[in-house]
Amino acid sequence: MKMYDLIVKKRNGEELSTDEINYFIHGYTKGDIPDYQASALMMAIYFQKMNMRETVDLTKAMINSGDTLNLSKIQGIKVDKHSTGGVGDTTSLVLTPMVAALGIPVAKMSGRGLGHTGGTIDKLESFNGFSVEISEKQFINNVNNIKLAIMGQTADLVPADKKLYALRDVTGTVENLSLISSSIMSKKIASGADCIVLDVKVGDGAFMKNYEQAEKLASTMVDIGERLGRKTVAVISDMDQPLGFAVGNALEVKEAIHTLKGNGPKDLLELCLTIGSNMVFLAKKAESVEQAREMLLGTIEDGSAIKKLREFITAQGGDVNQLDNTDLLPRARYIVPVKSDRSGYISKIYAQNIGLAAMELGAGRATKGDKVDLAVGIVLNKKRGDSVNTGDILAYIHSNDEGNIDIAQKRILENYIISQEKASDIPLIYNIIRK
Ligand code: URA
Ligand code: CA
């Protein structure tokens, strides 16, 4: 087999065989196939696309490029969730203790933030001493003992995706349905859960800017999951404004704690209940999604969810005094209000630019190696549909550097769109895709 022939075949719009896909993934992971040939193939796939059979084969080949996590030592049906990435998306921190509090094992691998989107691991490191670098053995023990563990993705899990994603990122070939879905699903399946609930974001702050694209991505990923033996459901949810109020690591941890104590933002809670009820139902702990939702609400009301978060933070070395008193979490030196210069209704908050503004304050990474400042970020005070008067506070900037406050202020004002008429409502949950 020759890589040249595969490139020409795909360039001409033909289908690649299972063997050819395996040949490419194997050879590229080993270093036998150079980046320039791999990028030519990625570009050919970008233009000519892949059918479902090729997409599933690609996912399988990527899973087989490295180790997979064996969770068979964990009792019960293991569930996992994955978000395609958003701004201020604190769901994992809220949702995983709620689901675990119902006795369902949650064994989760999470990532770090990049660009305008945040990552669960960075957020958790707001707790002094908290570590995601636990061994596989400890990971499994923790899930058996307390039903919840979160670790970073190990280096040998889907090595093909690490190389390919980095290559796609610099060759303009990220935005292809088959490439995105195989990248996400290979990692999810290799991490070993029996059931997967996907949160596919749609809107300005998401990968998928419109509903049609998001639905295609959701149904492709559900299809891949089911064909590879995992119960898979996708929730399509709004990312046209940040989720909740807080955008930034420790700020989001604080928001998650408030939510678990029953005082969280409505949209964040609603999304957690929607994703969570599907997780509970797939884990066969409820007769219906509606019943699962009531059970999840119960974990907030009876305090078992916040207690679960406490156990989880303790088990991974974190300081729970910061949970009991959130003032002990990392705090920024300057907290500056951003005031509206006009009155009207908030018709739009550009999520991606708010995410980028938080990143510039230090809450996120422009490139992979950057260090994040856990304390900083933006806390929204007004959201879409709210009315404002001149001088009302739209948001607060949390910064550790006096020098970057002016630019953040300008960015926030530019990205809050205020109109004279109240815009029509955008749903938080667009659809739920099941097989
Ligand atoms: N997230 C991933 O993990 N992979 C992609 O290709 C896109 C988003
Ligand atoms: Ca938030």
Same domain, 234 and 362: no
Same domain, 126 and 234: yes
Asked whether 279 and 104 are in contact (CB, 8 A), the reply is yes
Q: Which amino acid is at 338?
A: V
Lowest-pLDDT choice from 16-20, 178-182, 256-260, 419-423: 419-423
- CATH number, domain with residue 155: 3.40.1030.10
- CATH number, domain with residue 395: 3.90.1170.30
Alpha-carbon span 34 to 42, nearest angstrom: 13
Please report the pLDDT score of residue 423 as a whole number.
86
Tokens, residue 254:
């604080």
Q: Give the ligand 1 atom nearest the CA of 183.
A: 4
Q: Would 343 be classed as within a structural domain?
A: yes
Q: Which amino acid residue places its CA nearest to atom 6 of ligand 1? A: 180
Tell which one of 178, 181, 184, 221 to mutate to probe ligand 1, the residue whose CB is within 8 A of the most ligand atoms: 184
Alpha-carbon span 182 to 52, nearest angstrom: 11
Tokens, residue 242:
């940040």
Biggest CA-to-CA distance, the chain: 68
What is the pTM assigned to this prediction?
0.95
Tens digits of residue pLDDT in 79-90? 999 999 899 999
Centre of ligand 2 to C-alpha 90, Å, is 5
Tens digits of residue pLDDT in 134-146? 999 999 999 999 9
Lowest-pLDDT choice from 76-80, 110-114, 334-338: 110-114
Same domain, 300 and 236: yes
Asked whether 241 and 434 are in contact (CB, 8 A), the reply is no
Could you tell me the CA-to-CA distances from 255 to 246, 258, 265, 329, 427 in Å, in that order?
Answer: 7, 5, 8, 12, 22
Q: Would 56 be classed as within a structural domain?
A: no
Q: What is the crossing angle of helices 3-11 and 35-48, to 10°?
A: 20
Same domain, 341 and 315: no
Q: Which amino acid residue places its CA nearest to atom 2 of ligand 1? A: 184
What sign has the CA pseudo-torsion 261, 262, 268, 273? positive
* Percent of the chain's residues with pLDDT above 70: 100
**Final residue of a structural domain among 324, 352, 374:** 324
Q: Would 69 be classed as within a structural domain?
A: no
Centre of ligand 1 to C-alpha 360, Å, is 23
- CATH number, domain with residue 25: 1.20.970.10
Paired residues of 80 in beta bridges: 196
**The residue to which tokens 């053995």 are assigned:** 137
Q: Would 431 be classed as within a structural domain?
A: no
Q: Would 402 be classed as within a structural domain?
A: yes
Same domain, 298 and 335: no
Tens digits of residue pLDDT in 269-296? 999 999 999 999 999 999 999 999 999 9
Beta strands in 73-194 (DSSP E): 79-83, 106-110, 148-152
Asked whether 300 and 272 are in contact (CB, 8 A), the reply is no
**The residue to which tokens 């492709």 are assigned:** 220
Q: Once rounded to an integer, what is the mean pLDDT over residues 185-200?
A: 96
Q: Which amino acid residue places its CA nearest to atom 5 of ligand 1? A: 180
Q: Would 62 be classed as within a structural domain?
A: no
Q: Would 426 be classed as within a structural domain?
A: no
Same domain, 223 and 352: no
- Active centre residues (catalytic): 82, 161, 168, 183, 187
Same domain, 105 and 8: no
Q: Which amino acid residue places its CA nearest to atom 8 of ligand 1? A: 180
Identify which of 87, 47, 357, 81 has the alpha carbon closest to the alpha carbon of residue 202. Answer: 87
Tell which one of 50, 84, 158, 165 to mutate to probe ligand 1, the residue whose CB is within 8 A of the most ligand atoms: 165
Centre of ligand 2 to C-alpha 220, Å, is 28
- Total number of domains in the chain: 3
**Final residue of a structural domain among 324, 355, 376:** 324
Same domain, 29 and 165: no
42 lines ligand 1 (CB under 6 A): no
Q: Would 289 be classed as within a structural domain?
A: yes
Domain holding 345, by residue range, is: 331-419
Same domain, 259 and 361: no
Q: How far apart are the first and last CA of the chain?
A: 36
Same domain, 183 and 37: no
Tokens, residue 123:
């957020």
**Final residue of a structural domain among 268, 293, 324:** 324
Asked whether 299 and 102 are in contact (CB, 8 A), the reply is yes
Half-sphere exposure of 301 (CA within 13 A, CB side): 6
Same domain, 15 and 145: no
Indicate whether 154 pLDDT > 90: no
Indicate whether 238 pLDDT > 90: yes
Same domain, 114 and 228: yes
**The residue to which tokens 């990205």 are assigned:** 415
